[in-house]
Structure 1
């Protein structure tokens, strides 16, 4: 079950989702739909695909590492001028993300933050009360050509 949080700014989206694999899949679909509605799929191909990968990784981390039984996670998207900000908040403020030094070649996890670090122009984590956190990433979008 999802709950949309009504916001007055049409360039912002916040959605609360179940912290399950199905919730992560819904998160990815809703982010794709919103980015298309903002026109990012046609005007900025590379940032569009980077944004979708970042959303997928952050949602997967929220349901894998940030899950607390009976609690949800939140996706936030904001388009402010030439910057797209992606935020995913979960209930595990005690588990802040950190880049691994070098993921082991045979490891089945540990590459998500490396991918986010490579794709995003900036990223980080902020505490969110009570006992939660928000992991965010920003993409600088290309400015439209002036004619």
Structure 2
């Protein structure tokens, strides 16, 4: 028998990772495994693939633009079901660069640009996103994805 996620009772996972390309890759693997553990529909939902892309882009930004030598970044995933919104996946990536609190979407990209598309992708995929300061000196970029009805098979 399948049970449902209790209303307003999130399932969450947090990992602290090294601010390196390997740390970003591990973050993507963790997200994939956690979504599978939560039984987010792995085969049919765009939200699953959007979540993995968002984690990858935010992790890449954390190691590229938010890196402080000797400090890592944090990946936090939270799955919540509420009456008003249904099931929402919240992705948070925190880094130690509080001086760069507001990520900036590029105004114009050229076809040959090698970078600069990450936040544009995040903006296009997210239902909601933003940044919040992180005490004492850092920031968290958060993204919320509303999962379609049937987007999870609760364990």
Q: TM-score, normalised by structure 1?
A: 0.88
| 1:117-136 → structure 2 map (5 Å cutoff) | 117-136=123-142
- Larger RCO, structure (CA 8 Å, separation 6 or more): 2
Three-state SS of the structure 2 residue aligned to 1:94 is helix
Shift of 1:79: 0.3
User: Aligned to 1:106, which of 103, 109, 112?
Assistant: 112
Contact 1:44 1:142 in 2 (8 A): no
Shift of 1:104: 2.5
1:31-51 deviation per Cα after TM superposition (whole angstroms, max 9, x unaligned) = 100001111133752100000
Contact 1:77 1:87 in 2 (8 A): yes
RMSD of aligned C-alpha atoms? 1.7
What is the rounded CA distance, in whole Å, between the counterparts of 2:122 and 2:10 in structure 1? 26
Q: Which residue of 2 aligns with 1:5?
A: none
Q: Which residue of 2 aligns with 1:75?
A: 75
The ranges of structure 1 where at least 4 consecutive aligned residues each deviate by more than 3 angstroms after the TM superposition are: 41-44
Q: Which residue of 2 aligns with 1:86?
A: 91
Q: TM-score, normalised by structure 2?
A: 0.83
Alignment gaps of 5+ in structure 2 = 1-8, 82-86
Three-state SS of the structure 2 residue aligned to 1:40 is coil
